[in-house]
Amino acid sequence: MTAYLDNAATTKVSESALKAAVTAMTENYGNPSSLHRMGLNAELAVTKARKDIALAMGADPERIFFTSGATEANNTILNGIAATYGRRKSTIVASSIEHPAVEEVLRELEKKGYKVKRIPPRSDGRINFAEFASAVDNDTFLATCMLVNNETGAVNPVDDIFAAVKNKNPDCITHTDAVQGFLKLPLKVSALSCDLMTVSGHKVHAPKGIGAMYVGRNIRLAPCFYGGGQEKGMRSGTEAVPLISAFGEAAAEQQRNIETAYKNALMLNSTLRKSLAPLDYITFNTDEKVSSPYIVNFSVKGIRSEIMLHFLESRNVYVSSGSACSKGKKSRVLSQMNMPDELADTALRVSFSKMSSWGEIEMLVSAIKEGYMTLQKTGR
């Protein structure tokens, strides 16, 4: 048996999503821009998927635009907003714990002369709405804050943050990277007061290579690609119908079962914490009361993350030492939380999906106990 508990990095493609992709590749393979029946059928498939994604966001389907993933969506949004709204204003306010797909774009924008004010999290990993809003002024044209942190699972009060931002500066554009919250937590763009949102397919049992962005009706966004004018000119290029169809099917399926999956994640989260809590060498790095049940971050005293990770792998247990994009680098997120090096350097991230099971938790806990007893003797 294998215990795959790295679902914040990527998820297994569901059977229904796989079937939708195969159907689009082998039967419904027309170009959505073609005027004949095959083209129309492909266009209808894209339209259906757009509606399914929009329903999960509580958004108008006309405001959903498909991309190759959340990284492209974040790049398009941040660069596009800067190009459109950053001509007379120059300040961006952001959390200091954003995913690299946001943080690296912000760094590039700084090189171009924009000012980025980064708001650090409190010790529980969350951004305080009052601190965030206090950094917004009349020169701020964009505020961006992720919904769920991909390393710690901490859920930011984005609704309060953006409401406070809008109250202080109604013209400020708001954006949230909702990748780790989409189809896991209740989500509506209107309730979050966000003008822009990005989501990803492969985090919710669709294939890699597909994502989407919500762009509010009154938002003018300069596109990153030019060509045939697909996606209303927002993202030119022939639509990837198989990937879009799979994303739509995965979203529809998960939306139908969101409450059941959430309860399962809560149960698994609680079981893991209760199983590890008695061990004096385990420290939990976020409080379950302020975190998504889908992510648990904890440290194993004295055992470096990479060492424990590979021991667990040898027992067919797969977890992460942080963001999959970091590839073992020191965690910027844990550093921003002012976490001591002895905890940050030994942190592991366990993340669930609707496919996760109690048996996988048993395997993980057993392997951690064995790993600690084995590895501490080597001084690693």
Please give the positions annotated as active site.
Answer: 325
Distance from C-alpha of 173 to C-alpha of 165, rounded to nearest angstrom:
9
The tally of CA atoms less than 13 A away on the side-chain side of residue 312 is 31
Residue type for position 199: V
Strand residues in the chain grouped as ranges (E)? 3-4, 64-67, 91-95, 115-119, 140-144, 173-177, 196-200, 211-215, 282-284, 295-300, 317-318, 347-351
Name the residue among 310, 292, 300 with its Cα closest to residue 351: 292
> Radius of gyration (Cα) for the chain, nearest Å?
21
> What values do phi and psi take at 283, rounded to 5?
-130, 125
Task: Tell me the β-bridge partners of 147.
Answer: none
| DSSP state letter for 179 | T
DSSP string, 116-146: EEEEPP-TTSPPPHHHHHHT--TTEEEEE--
CA 136 to chain CA centroid, Å, is: 24
Residues 6+ apart with CB under 8 A from 354: 205, 254, 257, 260, 261, 264, 265
Q: Residue 345 CB: number of other CB atoms within 10 A?
A: 18
Bridge pairing between strands 91-95 and 140-144: parallel
Residue type for position 85: Y
Residue type for position 131: E
Residue type for position 270: S
| 8 A C-beta contact, residue 294 and residue 351 | yes
